[in-house]
């Protein structure tokens, strides 16, 4: 069933590109996500981070709708309401956490409350927690208000080690991993089901069975999608990662239909090889981090990710960088996230990407035809004849017969039964082979 969105009239078209992206295929260009102001001279303001954490959901929704009304969601950009109570939001839902949430004007976090693990009962979601109930209420209201207009952001899942870091504190957790690893293993097993439990509730309240899902990394999927992450891994070595993080990351990927891993900062790169081996993981978002080299200077990492069959999310700093990335990475398994200043500028880039891809396909087809013709020429030359390619265009190959083939009464048979048959067998895109003078 075809469905449209008020703020995304071409939603069905965008879905086609997203399907091809997840399947590792290319329609006619790489994917492009760009939010463009309808009036460049007066760009709309996006609602502040964590809008709604004061439980004034109507206000947050109204702010987003004003933004969406004045924004063009270009190409594969999908309008979605950001629902976030901060990076530790999943940890707020644990029993014992409710009173330890600190909220400031532009951020929020959980004050570590675990002093001694022996005093803490088995970790589980507190379904009576004000934070858990209000979080789901936000999704419920957002789904009702946004029906047919925009989607809802899937939660910012900081689970397993990130969750324990939030309730225990970074330094204490590092010490625990060395001194009482058995306790951490036990606690990780207690909370390993939280991802699926919370995801399932959000999926239901957000009406995502109908509309699909989108994450804070704004990739869209018609089924279950989320950003999988663990920022704590930059503090541990490979052995600890494989024991305390990797199994839980894999489990989350197995639950989802599609996923992207948020790889944050050079300190996490030591785990890249292990992450690339996760079979169900589709994509990796590499973020160099503040103060490090820009994305354009990490092409080796992006190429390595692509070589392993994973998709990459690329963040150019200007339109010219898109062209550089494209020449280096190609169109497959790539999505660019860049907000153009004007629709005209965005359309120009879209046209360029399509043109380059078309040229690439034509060149690839010509190369295949040339290889097939080289095979044909061998047996023609053995009989005193020859042929050459004149042109390849729109599925038609034009050839010139030479030597004894030229003017031969059997030339038409040679052309159709031998030359055309072999070319069409080797290059199915070719529909016809014709002789020219």
Q: What is the mean pLDDT of residues 46-72?
A: 97
pLDDT at 213: 98
Give bridge partners of residue 334 from the DSSP assignment: 312
Tell me: pLDDT of 362 over 80. Answer: no
Q: What are phi and psi of 223, to 5 degrees?
A: -115, -145
d(CA 295, CA 273): 19
pLDDT at 394: 73
Tokens of 215: 């994450």
Return the SS3 of 55: coil
Residue 176: its H or E element: helix 170-179
pLDDT at 372: 85
Q: What is the mean pLDDT of residues 59-72?
A: 98
Structural domains of the chain in order of their starting residue, each with its CATH number: 11-341 (3.20.20.210), 362-435 (3.30.300.130)
Beta pairing class for 283-287 and 258-264: parallel
What sign has the CA pseudo-torsion 117, 120, 122, 125? Answer: negative
For the segment 393-413, what is each residue's pLDDT rounded down to a tens digit?
Answer: 777 888 888 888 777 877 777
Return the SS3 of 94: strand
d(CA 87, CA 50): 10
Tell me: pLDDT of 206 over 90. Answer: yes
d(CA 134, CA 417): 72
pLDDT at 412: 77
The upper half-sphere exposure of residue 245, i.e. CA atoms within 13 Å in the direction of its Cβ, equals 28
Burial of 169 (0-12, 13-18, 19+ CB in 10 A): middle
pLDDT band at 102 (very low <50, low <70, confident <90, very high): very high
pLDDT at 109: 94
Any idea which of 59-68, 91-100, 269-278, 417-426 has the lowest mean pLDDT? Answer: 417-426
pLDDT band at 423 (very low <50, low <70, confident <90, very high): confident
pLDDT at 356: 80
Tokens of 48: 């502040």
Contact 213/221 with Cβ under 8 angstroms? yes
Tell me: pLDDT of 203 over 90. Answer: yes
Tell me: pLDDT of 419 over 90. Answer: no
pLDDT band at 5 (very low <50, low <70, confident <90, very high): very high
Tell me: pLDDT of 230 over 90. Answer: yes
Q: What is the mean pLDDT of residues 172-185?
A: 98
Name the nearest CA neighbour of 354 among 75, 22, 35: 75
d(CA 19, CA 284): 17
pLDDT band at 425 (very low <50, low <70, confident <90, very high): confident
Tokens of 112: 């570590």
Between 54 and 391, residue with greater pLDDT: 54
Q: What is the mean pLDDT of residues 352-359?
A: 83
Tell me: pLDDT of 1 over 80. Answer: no
Tell me: pLDDT of 171 over 90. Answer: yes
């Amino acid at each position: 069933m075809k469905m449209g969105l008020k703020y995304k009239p071409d939603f069905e078209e965008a879905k086609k590109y997203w399907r091809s992206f997840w399947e590792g295929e290319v329609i006619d260009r790489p994917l492009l996500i760009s939010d463009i102001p309808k009036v460049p001279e007066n760009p709309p303001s996006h609602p502040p981070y964590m809008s709604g954490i004061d439980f004034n959901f109507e206000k947050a929704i109204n702010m987003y709708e004003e933004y969406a009304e004045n924004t063009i969601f270009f190409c594969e950009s999908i309008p979605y309401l950001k629902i976030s109570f901060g990076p530790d939001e999943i940890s707020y839902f644990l029993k014992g956490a409710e009173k330890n949430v600190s909220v400031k004007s532009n951020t929020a976090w959980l004050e570590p409350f675990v002093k001694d693990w022996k005093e803490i009962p088995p970790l589980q979601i507190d379904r009576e927690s004000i934070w858990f109930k209000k979080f789901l209420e936000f999704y419920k209201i957002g789904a009702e208000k946004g029906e047919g207009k925009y989607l809802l952001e899937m939660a910012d899942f900081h689970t397993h080690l990130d969750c324990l870091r939030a309730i225990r504190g970074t330094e204490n957790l590092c010490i625990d991993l060395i001194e009482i690893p058995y306790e951490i293993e036990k606690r990780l097993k207690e909370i390993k089901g939280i991802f699926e439990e919370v995801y399932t509730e959000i999926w239901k309240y957000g009406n995502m069975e109908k509309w699909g899902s989108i994450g804070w990394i704004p990739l869209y999927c018609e089924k279950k999608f989320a950003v999988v992450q663990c920022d704590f891994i930059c503090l541990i070595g490979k052995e600890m990662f494989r024991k305390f993080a990797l199994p839980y990351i894999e489990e989350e990927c197995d639950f989802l239909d599609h996923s992207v891993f948020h790889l944050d900062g050079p300190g996490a790169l030591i785990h890249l090889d292990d992450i690339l081996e996760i079979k169900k993981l589709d994509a990796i978002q590499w973020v160099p981090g503040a103060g490090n080299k820009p994305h354009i200077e990490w092409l080796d990492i992006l190429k390595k990710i692509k070589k392993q069959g994973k998709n990459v999310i690329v963040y150019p700093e200007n339109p010219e960088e898109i062209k550089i990335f494209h020449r280096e990475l190609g169109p497959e398994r790539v999505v660019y996230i860049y907000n153009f200043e004007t629709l005209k500028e965005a359309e120009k880039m879209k046209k360029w990407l399509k043109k380059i891809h078309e040229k690439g396909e034509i060149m690839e087809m010509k190369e295949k035809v040339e290889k097939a013709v080289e095979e044909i020429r061998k047996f023609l030359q053995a009989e005193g004849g020859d042929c050459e390619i004149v042109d390849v265009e729109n599925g038609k190959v034009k050839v010139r017969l030479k030597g004894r083939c030229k003017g031969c009464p059997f030339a038409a048979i040679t052309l159709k039964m031998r030359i055309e048959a072999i070319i069409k067998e080797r290059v199915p895109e070719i529909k016809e082979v014709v002789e020219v003078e």
